[in-house]
Chain A
């Protein structure tokens, strides 16, 4: 397996380099054989990466401990599923996962640009260039197929904290998001290099950004869920650099999804949208770099890690190439974009080439403001994430930037974004009147004020909390109004309300998908704020029969039992939960000692209702049978997960192709004569 895997990685490197060279030659000489060769090289690259991945899965499943990676992340007693998930339980495997995802995307991207003589070679070049870089990193930097001279009798086993279903799915989702940013970057670079006007590729790029955004959202959700159920500190987000690494490209990808609307409708923000695509890819690379370079534990670890400097070099190269191309093409880009939306030739007739902004009170102004805020948010997070690294480099002192920095600076960004989220969709393109906007926002505003008064009456005293709640209600009411107007504008039919709503959404999936995602975000933010503000916690050491009160719950410790499993010592406590006089649940939090690794994890017991989460952690059971429990009540927290799912649903609705357009497309192909090879478009 080791030989097969190492060979496959070297072969994938050769295929990627060959394909990249063929793509370049194909651009220089009008010879179709180079194009065909480049296209076949993508398939060969993908096949070799798949072979390497299969070899690693095989080695993990059959526990070939003479491979250092296998010995580090698996052990004989590890269940089969986690042995497979151990693929991304360590450094080298994670890099190979990157390559696997990239190979899949390279194949898919090739289909997107098939037949486009200008875009295809550059897209192949970027995808295979990136692939060659990661194959080289795998072959010469950090190989999962490196062998040990003396194989250990058993492996160290997967880090117990990673033995969790959420952690099994979190890295693949996150990487599908990170690596997904490669495709829009490749399309943007290809369009810039091949002087392809935006109308020909920006729609395809939007679909790719949306796909990557969906995976990033899912990855963030899975990671937060893992943190909540496994780490046992009761939280789900700590502004940890690893988390920030995923949040930053999410913010810029969100910005792309918004700016692209102004690009398509008004031919505005074209250069800016492309810049955001380059930035999103750069931040995805930076996220990989941050988590994979050892930089986080210390600057000195970075210097020792072989792969860190290469990753940084590649990141700088990708950014420099993208932005240099963009700057060179900016003047033509503006002209092209303008010509796309005004095909009457206004651009050629010496009209101003910049799209003028007609009014501050216009949809495009709101979209631009939203973009600036999202990018500022990404930079605020970036500053807090890299400040400790820079400080250590400059002063030698190791420092940490605490969560207060992030909450303090992100709060105004989020508040302004919420305001735009309510007002932006109500603004017409090109501009509207202020009194019209005020009239439209009157009802949501009134709802928001009433919610604020009600919350204040219910005892909410914190100004920040009140502001978030009021803004969330404001947005939700404004979105609700959009749906109501949409429904009212539909012809009255026999269909029921549910069918009418589905018809409305299906009729304009991008628009209503976006609104659904907005509602999901509002739920996430409201749940995050409320749960943080009203969480209650208690900790105590109890004898059997004793109870501890937390919030509205009485938690009685009944008994504990110890069970032994291979390599594990599991202590399980049974606790009876009462709310008032009624017994509502019996929970079984567990405390697990991983004997081989001398590590302890907690299996948190959580009782979720629509109102709150009761979170029970068993910290220890003493020899005389007394249990130390930590309890927390997190109000509204279940809505955070629901909100994230609503966001994903909204994104998926927006990602669905239009049914009519697709049907028309099939029709078109059916009637068209057989395409000539490499036919011009």
Chain B
């Protein structure tokens, strides 16, 4: 039985370590997921890492020497400016739904990542 005790102890240590890593990871990798209107009503989330879902507002895309450097997203009631000059998804465009991740600093959201909504594979996206 000594061998099984040793193995159990070793595995327990490993499982505990991975659980601790998972706990720490879930705390640090969790972002709030909001619409622009919800974000506007939550002043406590200024400066927090957030993910916002909204539509790219027509005419809001700002360019500099042909590169997109920013745009605004909205959800029908609230407009939020986004500063961003990283890679854009190929489905990006005015009127498209996007997810924007970043932190708000001042008036605009400093985005670190812009992605299109991943379709729930075989399910229709809800129509608006």
Contact = CB atoms under 8 A, between A and B. Distances in A.
A397 interface: yes
B29 A357 contact: no
B7 A387 contact: no
A501 B69 CA distance: 58
A619 interface: yes
Contacts of A180: none
Nearest to A240: B118
B120 A231 contact: no
29 contacts: A90-B123, A159-B122, A233-B89, A233-B115, A240-B118, A291-B121, A291-B122, A291-B123, A368-B11, A372-B15, A383-B22, A384-B22, A388-B33, A398-B34, A399-B33, A400-B32, A400-B33, A401-B29, A402-B30, A408-B21, A408-B25, A409-B21, A413-B18, A539-B88, A541-B66, A600-B90, A600-B93, A602-B90, A630-B88
B3 A360 contact: yes
Contacts of A620: 93
Contact of A159 (B66, B115, B124): B124
Contact of A90 (B18, B21, B51, B124): B124
A548 interface: no
A399 B90 CA distance: 25
Contacts of B106: none
B14 interface: yes
Given A161-B119, A296-B120, A384-B22, 20 more contacts: A89-B122, A91-B122, A233-B116, A238-B118, A240-B118, A301-B126, A356-B3, A360-B7, A372-B15, A383-B22, A387-B26, A399-B33, A400-B31, A403-B29, A404-B28, A406-B25, A416-B14, A600-B90, A600-B96, A620-B93
B62 to A, nearest CB: 15
| Closest 4 pairs between A and B when the two form their complex, measured CB to CB | A405-B29, A232-B90, A357-B4, A602-B90
Interface of B: 1, 3-4, 6-7, 10-11, 14-15, 17-19, 21-22, 25-26, 28-34, 51, 66-67, 87-93, 96, 101, 115-116, 118-124, 126
B119 A630 contact: no
B124 A368 contact: no
A369 interface: yes
B17 to A, nearest CB: 7
B32 A397 contact: yes
A297 interface: yes
Given A398-B32, A400-B33, A383 B92 contact: no
Contacts of B25: 384, 404-406, 408-409
Given A88-B122, A401-B29, A402-B31, A600 B87 contact: no
A368 B119 contact: no
Contacts, number: 152
A159 B122 CA distance: 8
A638 interface: no
Band of interface residues on A: 35 or more
Contacts of B15: 372, 376
B31 A399 contact: yes
Given A232-B89, A358-B3, A405-B29, A412 B115 contact: no
A91 B123 contact: yes
B14 A72 contact: no
B33 A409 contact: no
A333 interface: no
Given A91-B122, A232-B90, A369 B22 contact: no
Interface string A596-607: 000011101000
Contacts of A412: 17-18, 21
A537 interface: yes
Nearest to B95: A598
Contacts of B88: 539, 619, 630
A357 B7 contact: yes
Nearest to A411: B21
Most chain A CB atoms below 10 A, which of B10, B28, B115, B122: B122
A413 B22 CA distance: 11
Nearest to A620: B93
Given A388-B33, A401-B29, A376 B18 contact: yes
Nearest to A392: B33
Contacts of A372: 11, 14-15
